[in-house]
Amino acid sequence: MSENTVIYEKVGNVVTITYNRPERNNAINGQMREELNAAWTQFYEDESAWVAILTGNGKSFCAGADLKDSSGSTGNFKGTFWEKPTINSFESGQEIFKPVIAAVNGPCVGYGLTAVTFCDFVIASEIATFSYPEVRIGIPTIVGAIRLPKKLNWSDAMELLLIGEPISAKRAKEMGFVWKICEEDQLLEQANELAAQLCRSAPLAVRATKEVAQRAQNMGWIESVRFGETMRIVANQTNDATEGISAFKEKRDPKWQGK
C-alpha cells in the first residue's frame, strides 16, 4: 500500500484519527476504508484511549466515498444479496461508547457526514460545510436517513437529506447539529481542550453513561431505568469508583485508571 491514508496519533489518553488523502479531498477509497476500520478498532480496544478526535488533513474534512476509486470504499459485506447490509464500520454504527469529537475543518460530505452523526460533539471551523449530495445523483442516503431524524427536527433533517445542497457551519449550528463554531486556526486547539475536559471525568463512568443514553432511546421507560441501574451497579464495582469517592473525601483530584 502507499502512504497511510489515515493518521492515528495518541497523546496521553486522547487519540486523533485524521483522514489523510488531501489530494483527493479526503475521499474514502478501499485503502482508506481498511485503515479507518483498523483505526477505530484500535481506539475501541485500547483501554488507555479514552477520547477520540476525528478530523481531516488539508482543506477538506471528508469528501465522502471516492467515486473515481470506489472499489472497497464501503468495506466488505459478508452474506448473500439481501443479507449484505450490516454494521461493518464506525459510519455504519460500530458501537463505541468512548466519547468522540468531530473537528470539522472543511467540506463534510456523504460518508464523512455520516461519521459525524455518530460523534458526540461537533466542533466546526467557520469554513466548514455539510452535505448529503447523493440524491442529486440518484442514490438514496440510508444511514444518514436513519440517524439525522433522531438528532434534528424533521424538516432540518430533510433539508440535509432531500435537497442535497451544502449548508454552512452557522446553519448546522442553528439546526443543533454543530455544537460549537470556531476560527479555522483554533479548531484542533478547541477539540483538544474539550478532550482534556472529558478526560477529567472517570472514563468507565463516561462510557456507561453514554451507553445508557444511547440504548435508552430505543427502550421503554421501565426497561431504560432497569438497564441504567444495572450499569450503575457494574460501574460502582470499579477501582475508579473507589478512587473517586476517596478523592472527594480527601479534597484532591482523582487519578483515573480506567479500571
Is the full-model pTM beyond 0.85? yes
**Grid coordinates standing for 115?**
461519521
DSSP conformation class of 24: G
Q: Which residues of the chain have pLDDT under 70?
A: 1-2, 70, 72-85
Which secondary-structure segment (H or E) carries 8? strand 6-11
CATH T-level topology, domain 203-250: Lyase 2-enoyl-coa Hydratase; Chain  A, domain 2 (1.10.12)
Residues 6+ apart with CB under 8 A from 207: 97, 98
Distance set, CA 200 to CA 14, 26, 33, 66, 192 (Å)? 12, 32, 32, 38, 13
pLDDT value for 83: 66
Q: Where are the domains of the chain?
A: 6-199, 203-250
CATH T-level topology, domain 6-199: 2-enoyl-CoA Hydratase; Chain A, domain 1 (3.90.226)
Within 10 A of 140 (CB to CB), how many other CB atoms are there? 10
